[in-house]
Structure 1
Amino acid sequence: MNEELIIKGKLAKEAANSLSLLSAEEKNHALLQMAEALEQGVHRILEANKEDMRNGRENALSDALMDRLMLTEERIYAMADGLKALRGIEDPIGKVEEMWIGAQGIEIGKMRVPMGVIGMIYEARPNVTVDAAGLCLKTGNAVILRGGSDALHSNRILTELIATAAEKAGCPKGSIQSIEQTGREVVTEFIQMTDYLDVIIPRGGAGLIQTVVKNATVPVIETGIGNCHIFVDENADLEKAKQIVINAKTQRPGVCNALETLLVHKEKAKALLPELLPLLNEKGVEIRGDHFTKEAFEDAIEINDSDYAEEFLDLILAVKVVDSIDEAITHIQRYGTGHSEAIITEHYSNSRKFLRCVDAAAVYVNASTRFTDGEQFGYGAEIGISTQKLHARGPMGLKELTSTKYVIYGDGQIRK
């Protein structure tokens, strides 16, 4: 196995043992020091990010990916604020959530404990480096970060600043580490480090996530492929629909909770589409639609069925006119990725039907899918949005980065 991986794996395993014993006050102090290190290192971070942005332009990254890669002073201070906000969230470690009396009077409880060592693999978004490190430290987990090559320089300086600050604040060496080597071979070895890693969390596009899921021997928490839909029901308020759709598609198109496919009931299509689609187009959105869509907006591009399965992560929108709520639900069941789905309706029964029948981590009534986010849900930062059903689903905050163990109190009982 790669020597760097072995060294960092051993160091992380040792660090995890000590991290699990830190008090909430000690971890909160470290988070504050990490935040201040980011604020003091703004110039260094921006210089490193310029190099990544320059390389991104040379490699012809899309505008959406460039936006995800770009750091500004405002974004850096937002990352620091995220670390500070974690200090105000209750520390789950050591909390006994349940207590009951078992056989012969033994007292049984379930206590929240760290997972141990978490491996993070992610693409293009340097803020994930800070979010993941902060969440892992708050929950007593060591973390090994493997960011994408597009953000190599940004991730390197971010990791250096926060890891050094955490260590100076009393956290063990190896609590926060990153792997700088690139190449598929390193990724394959990393996700098979069963001697050192307790869980792998991939965060990125479909290709990355599927590669990890198919090849990892370490347990995986699958996150974030977001082919998200909004269905405008026949009972929708059209003004609400227009505002929600425009927000979900254009507010930040390169993220996993952005709208990718708009489904419109045939009874609302003639009233909505001729007004809505030009507004989207003015904001740079390319419209791909069926023949009803093209009738409503002549600049629409004829859609292929494969487009309905696409996570564009760009200013591209698939549009389909449907005959009923049942057809909309069937479409979502076929093409959705279990991330975030929404219905716009003023009809109570239809909203309830949509909530019951649509299988996704987050299902909305009359709101933008862009709210599927740890901060928006009140969790502080998030490490990702889980689209699977085991252990964690939806935005993953502190609790989702813990496990439990049974603690049992007795007074000399023996089993008969």
Structure 2
Amino acid sequence: MESEVVVKARAAKMGAQELALVGTDTKNKALAYLADELERQSARIIEANHLDIAAARNNGLSEAMLDRLKLTEQRIHDMAAGVRQVIELSDPVGRCLEEWDRPNGLHICKVTVPLGVIAIIYESRPNVTVDAAALCVKSGNACVLRGGSEAIHSNTALVAVIKEALKAAGLNPDIVGLLENTDRALVKELLTLRQYIDLAIPRGGAGLIRMVVETATVPCVETGSGVCHVYVDKDADLDMAVRIIENAKVSRPSTCNAMETLLVHESVLAPLMKKLVPVMKQDCVEMRGDDLARSVDSAVLAAEEADWETEYNALVMSIRTVSSLEEALEHIRRYSTHHSEAIVTDNPETAEAFLRSVDSAAVYVNASTRFTDGFEFGFGAEIGISTQKLHVRGPMGLEALVSYKYVVRGQGQIR
């Protein structure tokens, strides 16, 4: 008897072949229906989410993971808004990227095409279910989703709405499949189905990402964990720095684009901490710092070596004092996960040096790392944030979900 994985992956492959031929209007019709139904059926979705939240609390899930899991009216509205933004974006399929004629008369055109079937393995966040489905449908790809067991009720409710939208638009509902069996062994099977799966994308913590990358025999995009840094330079506007730090740490600490480590030039450490510590106390942020940071304010606990490489996903931050831009850059090179880094400075030369030197997917000057997000970049929903360099990097929107083929037209030429 075939497993659920094989059945749904095969159905997705067949559906992908049909979807690749579907026009933009039909895909947008499905997405419009999806956005409307998400809002109309929000009570049903939240009711399913409450079952997951209750079970997660009983199982001792951390507050950070509970925040990722939780759905509210506003978060469902945001999901619908992301879907509508995808509708407004250009269809990435069927575009001629470049074309040319050869001396022998052949005409060659490089045309964008869907990848095929994308397996998406993720934890906790039910919004990924909708984001992934919307982006895959618009880019002509089928997808097989495997969310965490802690979100199974939420994901089942969301996929039911997605399938309703696909049917309403006349599309094959099998182009979005959800693995309802939460046995982890099935994930490994999914990651080795080369005959059906064209790409695997993990979204979650470092452990999940490492498992997927090490297990997959299908092509895989590594979406990295986020040990993100903010460096406050000696020429920084300290009031601006406090606003950026608070936003980067506090606005949603459970996300991968939240700041984990604050680097501070020693010449502005004392005045910055005088402004920052009261704000962090008010926000209930635990601060762990080096000896200099602790000497400035007793509220700062002692940091250990592990703190510099930890993605807290919680209201915890580490603080390190540096004597120069070079020392800040060296710290980032050593501990960064190549996700997002920011500098706060009014010195344009220092800013440019930081931008040139930092090797991360997103690098900021005088802005919060929390902007590393497909919606904020104008991509609509995102399917992940890649910290690798092939084939995509940074927030992955529609353009990251197509490949290309060469269409060659001749008049009987032979070689």
Q: Give the TM-score of the pair, scaled to structure 1.
A: 0.98
Residue 69 of structure 2 is aligned to residue 75 of structure 1? no
- CA apart distance, 1:383: 0.5
Contact 1:227–1:260, Cα closer than 8 Å, also in 2: yes
8 Å CA contact retained: 1:263, 1:321: yes
Structure 2 Cα separation of the partners of residues 34 and 94 of structure 1: 24
Aligned pairs for 1:198-213 within 5 A: 198-213=198-213
1:284 matched to which residue of 2? Answer: 284
3-state DSSP class of the match of 1:104?
coil
CA–CA distance in 2 between the matches of 1:59 and 1:342? Answer: 36
Query: Could you give the per-residue CA deviations for residues 227-246 of structure 1, whole angstroms, max 9, x where no partner exists?
Result: 00001111111111111111
**8 Å contact 1:360–1:387 — kept in the other structure?**
yes
SS in 2 for 1:405: strand
Provide the secondary structure at the position in 1 that maps to 2:110: strand
Per-residue CA distance 1:79-130 (angstroms, 9 max, x = gap): 1222122111100100101111224132211111000000000010000000
User: What is the match of residue 21 of structure 1?
Assistant: 21
CA distance in 2, matches of 1:204, 1:222: 10
Match of 1:344 in 2: 344
Between 1:182-191 and 1:286-295, the stretch displaced more is 182-191
- 1:247-301 per-position Cα deviation (integer Å, ceiling 9, x unaligned): 1000110000000000001111111112212311220100000011111220211
4+ runs of 1 displaced by more than 4 Å?
none
Deviations 1:353-381 (A, max 9, x none): 11111100000011100110111111111
Map 1:248-259; keep pairs closer than 5 Å: 248-259=248-259
CA–CA distance in 1 between the matches of 2:174 and 2:354?
47
Question: Is residue 133–residue 143 contact of structure 1 (8 Å, CA) maintained in 2?
Answer: yes
The one-letter code of the counterpart of 2:322 is V
Contact 1:278 1:297 in 2 (8 A): no
- Alpha carbons 1:284, 1:315 under 8 Å: kept: yes
CA deviation vs aligned residue, 1:162-198 (integer Å, no higher than 9, x gap): 1122123111131111001123211111111111100
* Match in the other structure for 1:316: 316
CA distance in 2, matches of 1:287, 1:211: 31
| Secondary structure class of the residue paired with 2:66 | helix
Q: Which residue of 2 aligns with 1:99?
A: 99
Asked if 1:109 corresponds to 2:109, the answer is yes
Supply the distance in 2 between the matched residues of 1:178 and 1:6 (Cα, whole angstroms). 12
| Deviating more after overlay: 230-239 vs 34-43 | 34-43
Question: Which amino acid is the alignment partner of residue 199 of structure 2?
Answer: V
1:49 Cα shift? 0.5
| Distance in 1 separating the partners of 2:146 and 2:368 | 31
Aligned to 1:132: 132
Q: Deviations over 1:359-414 (max 9, x none)?
A: 00000011100110111111111101110000110010001000011111222222
State the 1:2 CA deviation. Answer: 5.6
Task: Tell me by how many angstroms 1:36 deviates.
Answer: 2.3
Pair 1:43 & 2:43 matched: yes
1:13 counterpart letter in structure 2 = K
Deviation at 1:63, TM superposition (A): 1.8
Q: Residue 105 of structure 1 aligns to a residue in which SS? A: coil
One-letter identity of the residue aligned with 2:228: C
AA paired with 2:383? I
**Which amino acid in structure 2 is aligned with residue 19 of structure 1?**
L
SS at match of 1:377: coil
CA distances 1:294-313 after superposition (whole Å, capped 9, x unpaired): 11220211011111000111
Q: Which residue of structure 2 aligns with residue 268 of structure 1?
A: 268
Q: Is the 8 A contact 1:99 1:109 kept in 2?
A: yes
Q: Which residue of 2 aligns with 1:146?
A: 146
Partner of 2:6: 6
Question: 1-side partners of 2:35 and 2:356: how far apart?
Answer: 42
What is the match of residue 367 of structure 1? 367
After TM superposition, the structure 1 stretch with the greater mean CA deviation from structure 2, 55-64 or 4-13, is 55-64
Q: Is the 8 A contact 1:2 1:189 kept in 2?
A: no
Percent sequence identity over matched residues? 50
After alignment, is 341-350 or 80-89 more displaced? 80-89
For residues 42 and 344 of structure 2, what CA distance do their matches in structure 1 show?
42
Using a 3 Å threshold, how does the CA distance of structure 1 residues 291 and 2 change in structure 2: closer, same or farther?
A: farther
Pick which of 53-62 and 210-219 moved more.
53-62
TM-score, normalization by structure 2: 0.98
The residue type paired with residue 309 of structure 2 is: A
The answer for the alignment partner of 1:403 in structure 2 is 403
Q: Show the counterpart of 1:386.
A: 386
Q: Which residue of 1 aligns with 2:65?
A: 65
Structure 1 SS opposite 2:76: helix
Q: Corresponding residue for 1:183?
A: 183
SS at match of 1:87: helix
CA distance in 2, matches of 1:328, 1:88: 41
Moved more, 39-48 or 246-255: 39-48
In 2: Cα distance, 1:237 partner to 1:77 partner: 35
Structure 2 letter corresponding to 1:110: K
- Number of positions where the alignment pairs a residue of Structure 1 with one of Structure 2: 415
